[in-house]
Structure 1
C-alpha cells in the first residue's frame, strides 16, 4: 500500500493496520525460526509497510499539533 493511500485513512484505521502488520511480522519471524518461511522477502515488505504506516501517523500527529 502506498503512502498516498495511507494518508486517506483515519488515525484509528492506521493504528489497526499497524497492529495487523506487527502480528504478521511476528508470524513471519516464527516461520523463519522453524524453517517454514516460503517467501523471505515478505519479512522486508512487512517491515517497510509498518514503517510507512508509522510515518503517516507521525505526519498526522504533527499536523494536528500545529
Structure 2
C-alpha cells in the first residue's frame, strides 16, 4: 500500500468513528423537579430538544 491509500483508509476510519460518537455517544440528561404532587421539566425546542433525554419518576404525574 502506498501512503495515499493509507491516508484514505485512516480518514475513513476516523470519519466512521466520529459519526458513531455523534449518534451513539453520551446524551445530556435532565432530571425532573418535584413540585407538590407533580414533576416539572423545562424543555427548549430550538433546532432540536434541550435536554434531549429526560428522567422522571414512574407513577408520578408529569
Instruction: Name the TM tier (shorter chain).
Output: 0.3 to 0.5
Choose between structure 1 and 2: higher strand proportion.
Answer: 2
- The higher relative CO (CA closer than 8 Å, separation ≥ 6) is in 1
TM-score by length of 2: 0.35
Which structure has the highest helix share of the two? 1
